Amino acid sequence: MSRLSESVTSVMHILDGADLGADYTVSQLLDETTARRSLDLSDLSPQEQSALVEGRAINLIPSAGVLAEKIEAARSEGRQFVIKYGIDPTSPDVHLGHAVPIIIASRLQRMGHHVVFIIGDVTAKIGDPSGRSSERPTLTDEDIARNLSTYQQQVTPFIDFERADLRFNGEWLNKVSLPQLVEILARVPVSMSLQREDFRTRIAEGQGLSLAEFVYSVVMAMDSVAITADVELGGVDQLLNLQMCRKVMEISEQTPEVVITTPLIEGTDGTGSKMSKSKGNYVGLTATPDDVYGRLMSIPDHLTEPYLQLLTEWTDDEIRVVTKRLEAGTAHPMAVKRILAGEVVAALHGPHVAAAARAEFTARFSKRSFGDTQNLPVVSMKEHGEDTLGALISRTLDFAPSISAVRRVAQQKGLRLIREADGEQQTTQLTEASVQQALGAVVSEIGAGDGVELYLKVGRKVARIDA
């Protein structure tokens, strides 16, 4: 029995009939599944390794069989099996959407393979055009340096950099001569780039499409040639870029890499849009444990299963057990969501921090009193009494991206002022009109009184109001 099979057996025993809402059960699960994130998977056969990867992939090109054969060949030759993952520093944040292929890279590393994490300090100057409806703003060297400064730190929970390489593609791209580039471009058919629907749409609509964007995938492919990649990982939106990598490796007389694409994780708002910073429906890897936990608790129930599949080390068999229990009514959706939130916090910060985040969330949202909550932000009436609720919530507290977003929360009956005394709460629903009122005026209308604690609740977020 493999080490992974032993771990799965332990988890299945815990899941079999246990109360998934109990702290003890969750603690047992987190201890086992968090340990799995560093579990040595090198005892799996090439076929088992390939099957484990395929289970979380959208595309595996040419096939899972070829991947297994390449792993076996590298073993026989006694050489490193090179896994490539690249990211352009076009923003300072890495979020859980980026983490999906990185988690696969982590598994491949624990299978004994060599991960090369490439930061595209040169390709960022072009900007990946995948899915774009217009050109990206040009980034300066200072922008790129600022963005990439914490990338290694952000992905360290998933990649062991003592056994991996962190490379910048400027190492080789800054040395590429024009004749070298022309030689490659001369053998790449234009039709490969024109397959891209985003390019065809931009051309048809008269939107800007630079020649640099047109050859972005060729330039990116030179990264694969430089490190002689065996495998490359990326989201499914990268498929055409990764197919170009195979083509350019072939032109360079190298064996084309195996391409593995992963699903694009849906954003936390559950609208069907992919997770992205621009939509505000993302969870950043640098977010606080309480924020990560709270954001994941706010997702719609239908996202729990795909998030378990893509963001945790749970296997399909384990997820099926939980799904069947949900269908049978022997597990509550909120309990499973708390397990998911704990899993992600544990991956980023460890199981003890995850347990603290769970306790904090319970104190803040599941009890009738906020008095035991330790980390609530505080708003001073003396300092902010003249501020409108909209400005206070969106700018001072950063509970919403804009005043219009605060209005939407009020329209959805999610804006409340709560008076608490002796553990008892009295809740006042605030209207959309309240968003333009000063905090002091809103509090005066409701009244505070001696011995009363006041709290402002915006959706699931809460702040304490001090005199």
pLDDT at 136: 57
| pLDDT at residue 419 greater than cutoff 80 | yes
Question: What is the spatial distance between Cα 325 and Cα 190, in angstroms, rounded to a whole number?
Answer: 52
| Mean pLDDT of the chain, nearest integer | 88
Q: How would you classify the pairing of strands 165-168 and 114-119?
A: parallel
Residue reference for tokens 């190492």: 171
Integer CA distances (angstroms), 385 to 317, 414, 441, 456, 466, in order: 54, 21, 8, 13, 10
| pLDDT tens per residue across span 159-204 | 999 999 999 999 999 999 999 999 999 999 888 877 777 777 767 7
**Which ranges constitute the DSSP H helices of 329-422?**
333-349, 351-361, 381-384, 389-391, 403-411
pLDDT at 149: 77
Residues 281, 285, 289, 291, Cα dihedral to 10° = -20
110 phi-psi bin (left φ>0, alpha ψ -120 to 50, beta other): alpha
35-49, 54-68, 129-143, 387-401: range with lowest mean pLDDT: 129-143
pTM, rounded to two decimals:
0.77
- pLDDT, mean of residues 84-92: 87
Question: What is the spatial distance between Cα 366 and Cα 256, in angstroms, rounded to a whole number?
Answer: 53
424 compared with 293, residue with greater pLDDT: 293
109-123, 220-234, 426-440: range with lowest mean pLDDT: 426-440
Please tell me the CATH code under which domain 289-366 is placed: 1.10.240.10
| pLDDT at residue 67 greater than cutoff 70 | yes
pLDDT band at 367 (very low <50, low <70, confident <90, very high): low
Integer CA distances (angstroms), 361 to 293, 295, 435, in order: 8, 11, 26
pLDDT at 211: 80
Residue reference for tokens 């599949």: 309
| pLDDT at residue 328 greater than cutoff 70 | yes
Beta strands in 7-55 (DSSP E): none
pLDDT band at 133 (very low <50, low <70, confident <90, very high): very low
95-99, 138-142, 305-309: range with lowest mean pLDDT: 138-142
Q: What totals of helices (H) and strands (E) does the chain contain, helices first?
A: 23, 11
Give the residue from 146, 155, 128, 153 showing the smallest Cα distance to 91. Answer: 146
pLDDT at 420: 82
**φ/ψ of residue 440, rounded to 5:** -60, -40
Query: Within the chain, which residue ranges are assigned CATH 1.10.240.10?
Result: 289-366
Cα 339 to chain center, whole Å? 17
**φ/ψ of residue 451, rounded to 5:** 75, 10
**8-state DSSP, 126:** T
Structure tokens given for 185: 């471009």
CATH architecture label of 378-466: Roll (3.10)
In percent, the amount of the chain with pLDDT more than 90 equals 55
43-47, 99-103, 152-156: range with lowest mean pLDDT: 152-156
pLDDT band at 410 (very low <50, low <70, confident <90, very high): confident
Integer CA distances (angstroms), 195 to 200, 310, 441, in order: 8, 28, 59
Question: What is the spatial distance between Cα 158 and Cα 262, in angstroms, rounded to a whole number?
Answer: 16
- Cβ 223 vs Cβ 118: under 8 Å: yes
Integer CA distances (angstroms), 324 to 17, 57, 335, 388, in order: 11, 23, 14, 48
Question: What is the spatial distance between Cα 36 and Cα 44, in angstroms, rounded to a whole number?
Answer: 14
Question: What is the spatial distance between Cα 234 and Cα 230, in angstroms, rounded to a whole number?
Answer: 14
User: Which range is most confident: 14-18, 293-297, 453-457?
Assistant: 293-297
pLDDT band at 243 (very low <50, low <70, confident <90, very high): very high
Give the residue from 152, 169, 155, 33 showing the smallest Cα distance to 101. Answer: 155
Question: What is the spatial distance between Cα 409 and Cα 413, in angstroms, rounded to a whole number?
Answer: 6
55-59, 276-280, 430-434: range with lowest mean pLDDT: 276-280
Residue reference for tokens 């330039």: 219
Question: What is the spatial distance between Cα 30 and Cα 353, in angstroms, rounded to a whole number?
Answer: 11
| pLDDT at residue 320 greater than cutoff 90 | yes
Query: Within the chain, which residue ranges are assigned CATH 3.10.290?
Result: 378-466
pLDDT band at 150 (very low <50, low <70, confident <90, very high): confident
Query: Within the chain, which residue ranges are assigned CATH 3.40.50.620?
Result: 40-262
Q: Could you say which of 3.30.70.360, 3.40.640.10, 3.40.50.300, 3.40.50.620 is the CATH number of the domain covering 40-262?
A: 3.40.50.620
pLDDT band at 244 (very low <50, low <70, confident <90, very high): very high
